[in-house]
Amino acid sequence: MNMHIEPESRKLPITILTGFLGSGKTTLLNYILTERHGHRIAVIENEFGEVDVDSDLVLASDEEIFQMQNGCICCFVDVRNDLIDVMKKLLSHKDKFDHIIVETSGLADPTPVATAFFVDRSVAEEVELDAVVTLVDAMHIDQHLYDPVLDGSDNQAVNQVVAADRILINKVDLASEDALGSLEASLRKLNQTAPILRSTYGKVDLTDILGVNGFRPSYVRERAEILDIDMDDDHDAHGHHECHDTACDHPDHDHGHHHDHGHGRASVLRPHSHDATVKSHSFVYPNSFDGEKLATFLKDYLGERGDDIFRTKGIVSVANDERFFVLQAVHKLVDFRPDHSWGEDVRKSKFVFIGRNLDRDGIDRNLRACLAA
Ligand SMILES: Nc1nc2c(ncn2[C@@H]2O[C@H](COP(=O)(O)OP(=O)(O)OP(=O)(O)O)[C@@H](O)[C@H]2O)c(=O)[nH]1
């Protein structure tokens, strides 16, 4: 008898995890990766800033983690093509996973990321978007939703809320019940349909955000049209590149001009303007720091300039201490604490500062002044 075996019909669900800088995406991811939930998850991360800090902060587990650091996932068609390449690799051993999470950088618009999965036909046949999950920092979101500097240009904090299929207000421990109520009301004005959930340190019932089948393709199609993204064209992996990210300071990226290596196709991505005033600067030092001096500098400096400096992260080697220290700051809120031992790893310290009006030389000078004698 001739048996006809059906090809695997179930598509691999993808969650796009987004949210402004410091909203708690990595925290939620770590919660997901360490929680027993029955899903086998692969993670694709796109970090903002050329020195990778996040991979040191994601808790190691059986899951597979792929870093994509060559630019902003929503701006660069090349990066979205890389996403497709990573996806193809994952699909080649898809028996190992039953869910993929794509964590966008904090300044990304999730819509161009979502469209990437429709553009490549071979991938589109095998995956389906489960939901765009947007984290909102209960303490800091207002200053980004109503950012006066962005008057008239694309506001990614707003876009992230508008595109959400699930909104997770995180850091509820830092906001009053009244503030949470009015935040919910303003989020509801931006997005009438997405369920709004609350969490502290990303702790949420995972069945509310994973495997929810909450994605709205019609919304993405509409928004793709506004962004001039052609979702019906089947692109080759490296066909087209438009670069407009003015924020990333990756050495390979020249943001002063517009370069387009199109091959005569219709435009794939019309430039959407990230906030050109937001920059990222990274610093790497081979020597160890005086922990107390550094902690004092960070508290004072960010206390003074933390309105403009949105996000600071670091992995720090502190003299006479076996452990590496983790720096996590969101605006003026600084957390600097020891983590586990360096073990065999080569000690070095790396910092990323993201924000407006960054004084690169001044930060470098100040950090050097905190190095151990
Ligand atoms: N108080 C409080 N702090 C939180 C909560 N969730 C996360 N944090 C802290 O907020 C900081 C930023 O969290 P991350 O998870 O790294 O944020 P992120 O969205 O991944 O940041 P980017 O990668 O820069 O976009 C860290 O210091 C976290 O420990 C929360 O619910 N309450």
pLDDT in tens, 293-314: 999 999 999 999 999 999 999 9
Evaluate: CB of 26 within 6 angstroms of ligand 1.
yes
The answer to whether the CB of 311 is under 6 A from ligand 1 is yes
Place of tokens 């996000």: 311
> What confidence tier does 76 reach under pLDDT thresholds 50, 70, 90?
low
Q: Is the pLDDT of residue 59 over 70?
A: no
Q: pLDDT at position 228, please?
A: 67
Across the range 102-112, mean pLDDT stands at 87
Atom of ligand 1 nearest to the CA of 311: 24
Q: Which residue's CA is the nearest one to ligand 1's atom 3? A: 171
Residue 97, token pair as written in the block? 């996973």
Q: Look at 156 and 75; give whichever has higher pLDDT.
A: 156
How far, in Å, CA of 99 to CA of 200, rounded? Answer: 24
In the predicted structure, residue 3 carries a pLDDT above the cut 90: no
Average pLDDT over residues 82-86: 80
Q: Is the CB of 25 under 6 A from ligand 1?
A: yes
Report, as an integer, the average pLDDT of 70-77. Answer: 58
pTM for this predicted structure: 0.83
Cα of 38 to ligand 1 centre, how many Å?
A: 25
Q: What are phi and psi of 336, to 5 degrees?
A: -135, 110
pLDDT of residue 70: 53
The secondary element (H helix, E strand) that includes residue 349 is strand 349-356
In ligand 1, which atom is closest to the CA atom of 328? 27
Pocket of ligand 1 contains residue 112 by CB under 6 Å: no
Question: Where in the chain is CATH 3.40.50.300?
Answer: 12-226
pLDDT band (50, 70, 90) for residue 97: confident
> How far is CA 307 from each of CA 152, 304, 329, rounded to the nearest angstrom?
21, 8, 12
**Cα 259–152–156 angle (5° rounding)?**
70
The single-letter DSSP state of residue 345 is S
The pLDDT of residue 66 is above 70: no
Would you list the DSSP string of 191-230?
-SSS-EEE-STT---GGGTSS-----HHHHHHHHHHTT--
Q: Where in the chain is the domain with CATH 3.30.1220.10?
A: 278-368
Q: What is the pLDDT of residues 202-247, one digit of tens each?
A: 999 999 999 999 887 777 677 667 666 666 554 433 333 333 333 4
Supply the pLDDT for residue 262: 31
The rounded Å distance from CA 348 to ligand 1 centre is 23
Q: Say which residue, 235 or 162, is predicted with more confidence.
A: 162
Ligand 1 pocket check: which of 20, 21, 26 to mutate, most ligand atoms within 8 Å of Cβ? 26
- Three-state DSSP state, 142: helix
pLDDT at 56: 62
With a 6 Å cutoff on the Cβ, whether 24 touches ligand 1 is: yes
Q: What pLDDT does 168 receive? A: 98
Nearest CA to ligand 1 atom 26: 328
**Residue whose CA is closest, atom 5 of ligand 1?**
201
Q: Which of 27, 139, 309 to mutate to test the pocket of ligand 1 (most atoms within 8 A of CB)?
A: 27
**What's the mean pLDDT in 99-104?**
90
First-to-last C-alpha distance (Å) of the chain: 80
Tokens of 199: 């969490």
Distance CA 269, CA 75 (A): 8
ipTM exceeding 0.95, yes/no? yes
Task: Quickly state the pLDDT bin for 64 (edges 50, 70, 90).
Answer: low
- In the numeric block, which tokens belong to residue 34? 């360490």
Which residue carries 């595109």 as its tokens?
Answer: 163
Give the pair of three-digit tokens for residue 326. 């983790």
Categorize the per-residue pLDDT at 74 as very low, low, confident or very high, splitting at 50, 70 and 90.
low
For the domain spanning 12-226, the CATH number is 3.40.50.300
Q: Give the pairing of strands 309-317 and 349-356.
A: antiparallel
Nearest to 158 by CA among 189, 202, 116: 189
3-state secondary structure at position 373: coil
Q: What is the largest CA-CA distance in the chain?
A: 80
CATH H superfamily, domain 278-368: CobW-like, C-terminal domain (3.30.1220.10)
- Rounded to the nearest whole angstrom, what is the distance from the C-alpha of residue 311 to the centroid of ligand 1? 10
Q: Cα(198) to centroid of ligand 1, in Å?
A: 14
Nearest alpha carbon, ligand 1 atom 29: 27
pLDDT at 207: 92
Instruction: Give the residue ranges of DSSP H helices in 37-163.
Output: 54-57, 77-92, 110-119, 121-124, 141-145, 156-162
Q: How far is the CA of 239 from the centre of ligand 1 (A)?
A: 36
Ligand 1 lined by 174 (C-beta under 6 Å):
yes
Rounded to whole angstroms, how far apart are CA atoms 303 and 161? 28
More confident residue, 8 or 193: 193
